Structure 1
Amino acid sequence: MLLTGFALGIVLGFVFQRGRFCVTGAFRDVWLSKSTRWLTAFLVAIAVQAVLVQLITSFGWIAPKPDQLAIWAVTSGSFVFGLGIVLAGGCATGTYYRSGEGLIGSWIALGLYAFTSAAMKRGVGKGVTDTLKGATQEATTIHETFHVSPWVPTAALALLVGWLVVRQTQNAQAPIAALPPRKTGIAHVLFEKRWNPNATALAVGVLAAVAYPLSAATGRNAGLGITTPSANVVSFLATGDSSFADWGVWFVLGIIPGSFIAAKGSGEFRLRAPDARTAVRAVWGGIFMGIGASIAGGCTIGNSLVQSALFSWQGWLAFLFTFLGVGAGAKAFVQSHLRADAVAREVAPVPTR
């Protein structure tokens, strides 16, 4: 049954790569270009997953248990994580699928993300993580706090997202002219045609919901997750303890070959070494990602996608503070470098013959 995690990881890795599904870009676009196209798509994934998870739960097939809110851990950790994913050039899923595309900078960020996560959960940073996460409040989910059915926030989110999609469709610009297709049939759809963000998000939402019963069948009562499984990979390699190699580990190990298959099929795979500045940013990005996600109790998948679909306070606060962290990172690391590059071009001497 553990191999169902690997199989789902391959499928989602393929979807992430072909659909360019990365929360960093979704959040960063809002701050830098005021575009909400990918943010809407991310909300589609949450809403689809929320509806399906509520249905599956009502049938008694799963029994998700959101954590109690550790507000200082979630807010501070998510903000740091938001800074990290800007530096790394991708969120947890983006770093994984870009590693499968051949981006060596993503290899650096991914390795340090996994290593730092393990250190914060079980090594030198464990004391800090446990202290912050131990200060909890008597709050788990939004619907429990307000004493309503979980279907109330689920329906509200579904209606809101539906309205956003309709509004986005009405305001959509004319499609950009594309080159004549080189492939036909299913090969064209899978490897050549540009995927619609909302269609990609729909697939992600469905697969995220499927993860629950598949994971529960192995004794792991959780949905998709990236941070703890990444830390578990490091712990397994360091100790040889097979208890770390759970469904979540097999899932994250499947993402890279899945994205590699997609990248090779679409002609997008190429080994690309980063320049010095990008490499340094990847180092710090991976470290910040590991620290932030460990303290917050999850990344953009475990918190902002999965926990938010359960309407846990942790999920939606993580969503907000990761968004704020990305905004701060975009202002500090992206816009400042763009300004510096522009100044450098202005003052550069004009070549003479």
Structure 2
Amino acid sequence: MIITGLILGTVLGFVFQRGRFCVTGAFRDLFTIKSTRWFTAFMVIVAVQSIGVFALDALGVIQLDGGTFPWLGTIIGGFIFGFAIILAGGCATGTYYRAGEGLVGSWFALIFYIAGAAAFRFGPLSGTTDAVRSVEIQNGTLQDALGVTPWILVILLVAGVGVAVLRQLNRERQITKVQLPAMKTGIAHVLTEKTWHPFVTAAIIGIIAIAAWPLSWATGRESGLGITGPSAHIGVFLGTGDMALVDWGMMLVLGLLIGSFIAAKASGEFKIRVPDARTTVRSIIGGLGMGWGAAWAGGCTIGNAMVNTATFSFQGWTALLFMILGTGVAAKIFIMGHKREGATATPKLTTVS
């Protein structure tokens, strides 16, 4: 049954690559260009998944558990993760799918993300993770704290996201678009050439995220989409060879690489691109930071910001907030700061005789 993880991961990697869906870009754009377009698309995934996951819970297919809220680890880890994704040039899924495109910088980020996640979850630094995550409160979800049915929250979330989508679509209608002539037709054009709209991509990812729940549960892994835990398992497996670690989640993340590679090759976007030394160092530091932050926070932009938010977990929404804040601080230092320096540099005067 774990082969379904590989199949779903391959589809997900294909969709992420073809849709150019970058969570780092969604968070970064909030600060650098004051755009909410991609963040709205991200919230579409959360809203779509929220409908599906609570329907599955109501039907008895899965059984959601409110759990606890390890607030200290979530806050610190979320901020670290958000800061690190700017250095790495992508979040967990972004790093996987860009690695499949041939970006060597993402290869470095991915290797050290796996190493960092393994070290902080199962290795010599796991004690720090246990310590920060031991500081917790008992009510783990918003519906438990308020004593209401989660469907009230689902309706409010869908309504809010719906309004945001309509606003974005109205803005887009006022923009004149220029399209290059199509080189392919039919399904080949749609799958490998046509630019996918962010909201369409988001809806597809949301449906895939819903499907992940029963497929994962069928193998005994009681969770939905997740990247950090499976990535940590890869790191431990490479060091120990323990076949017990090979589960649905590990198949999922391996599928991300396969799917993104297929999409990049089919669309002509695969190319080995070697970064400069500074980018390489940043990718390594960013990868380690992602592994560290995700371990302390209990998940990355997928497991926390996309999945746990859909179940109205305090951990998920808190992690989302502090990931955005971390991204904003890093963007100000490494992106916006450099732009200001370039804009305010004093030009050299040349004397002409």
Q: TM-score, normalised by structure 1?
A: 0.96
Match of residue 179 from structure 1: 180
CA shift, 1:168, in A, is 1.2
Distance (Å, rounded) in 2 between the aligned partners of 1:232 and 1:188 = 37
Match of residue 230 from structure 1: 231
Q: What residue identity is the alignment partner of 1:271?
A: I
**Larger CA deviation: 136-145 vs 301-310:** 136-145
Distance (Å, rounded) in 2 between the aligned partners of 1:160 and 1:339 = 35
Q: What residue identity is the alignment partner of 1:167?
A: R
Superposed, which structure 2 residues align to 1:157-172 within 5 Å? 157-172=157-172
Percent identity, please.
52
Q: Which runs of 5+ in 1 are unaligned?
A: none
CA shift, 1:64, in A, is 2.6
Distance (Å, rounded) in 2 between the aligned partners of 1:43 and 1:189 = 24
Match of residue 188 from structure 1: 189
Match of residue 73 from structure 1: 73
Match of residue 270 from structure 1: 271
**Larger CA deviation: 60-69 vs 117-126:** 60-69
Residues 66 and 87 (structure 1), Cα distance of their counterparts in 2 relative to 1, 3 Å cut? farther
Superposed, which structure 2 residues align to 1:211-290 within 5 Å? 211-290=212-291
Q: Which runs of 5+ in 2 are unaligned?
A: none
- The aligned length equals 350
Cα deviation, 1:123-155, whole Å, max 9, x if unaligned, reads: 121111000011110121100100000101111
Distance (Å, rounded) in 2 between the aligned partners of 1:341 and 1:272 = 26
**Larger CA deviation: 121-130 vs 295-304:** 121-130
Distance (Å, rounded) in 1 between the aligned partners of 2:105 and 2:31 = 24
Q: What residue identity is the alignment partner of 1:133?
A: R
Match of residue 307 from structure 2: 306
CA shift, 1:47, in A, is 0.1
Conserved? CA contact 2:67–2:138, under 8 Å: no
CA shift, 1:342, in A, is 4.9
CA shift, 1:339, in A, is 3.5
Match of residue 337 from structure 1: 338
Conserved? CA contact 2:88–2:106, under 8 Å: yes
Distance (Å, rounded) in 2 between the aligned partners of 1:276 and 1:340 = 21
Q: Helix, strand or coil: the match of 1:174?
A: coil
Conserved? CA contact 1:48–1:202, under 8 Å: yes
Match of residue 7 from structure 1: 7
Distance (Å, rounded) in 1 between the aligned partners of 2:262 and 2:348 = 43
Distance (Å, rounded) in 1 between the aligned partners of 2:276 and 2:43 = 34
Residues 12 and 339 (structure 1), Cα distance of their counterparts in 2 relative to 1, 3 Å cut? same
1:132 pairs with 2:132:
yes
Cα deviation, 1:208-233, whole Å, max 9, x if unaligned, reads: 01000000000000000000100000
Distance (Å, rounded) in 2 between the aligned partners of 1:256 and 1:221 = 23
Distance (Å, rounded) in 1 between the aligned partners of 2:341 and 2:132 = 37
CA shift, 1:338, in A, is 2.8
Residues 265 and 175 (structure 1), Cα distance of their counterparts in 2 relative to 1, 3 Å cut? farther
CA shift, 1:39, in A, is 0.5
Conserved? CA contact 2:24–2:86, under 8 Å: yes
Superposed, which structure 2 residues align to 1:12-161 within 5 Å? 12-161=12-161
Distance (Å, rounded) in 1 between the aligned partners of 2:95 and 2:114 = 11
Distance (Å, rounded) in 2 between the aligned partners of 1:55 and 1:138 = 25
CA shift, 1:340, in A, is 4.1
Conserved? CA contact 1:66–1:307, under 8 Å: no
Q: What residue identity is the alignment partner of 1:120?
A: F
Q: Helix, strand or coil: the match of 1:171?
A: helix
Conserved? CA contact 1:67–1:314, under 8 Å: no
Conserved? CA contact 1:70–1:133, under 8 Å: yes
Q: What residue identity is the alignment partner of 1:61?
A: V
Cα deviation, 1:300-336, whole Å, max 9, x if unaligned, reads: 0000000000000000001100010100010011112
Q: Helix, strand or coil: the match of 2:309?
A: helix
Q: TM-score, normalised by structure 2?
A: 0.96
Over the aligned positions, Cα root-mean-square deviation in angstroms equals: 1.4
Q: Helix, strand or coil: the match of 2:149?
A: coil
CA shift, 1:269, in A, is 0.6
CA shift, 1:176, in A, is 2.1
Cα deviation, 1:4-56, whole Å, max 9, x if unaligned, reads: 00000000000000111111100100101110000000000000000011111
Distance (Å, rounded) in 2 between the aligned partners of 1:165 and 1:123 = 43
Q: What residue identity is the alignment partner of 1:318?
A: A
Q: What residue identity is the alignment partner of 1:40?
A: T
Distance (Å, rounded) in 1 between the aligned partners of 2:264 and 2:184 = 15
Q: What residue identity is the alignment partner of 1:210?
A: A
Q: Helix, strand or coil: the match of 2:254?
A: helix
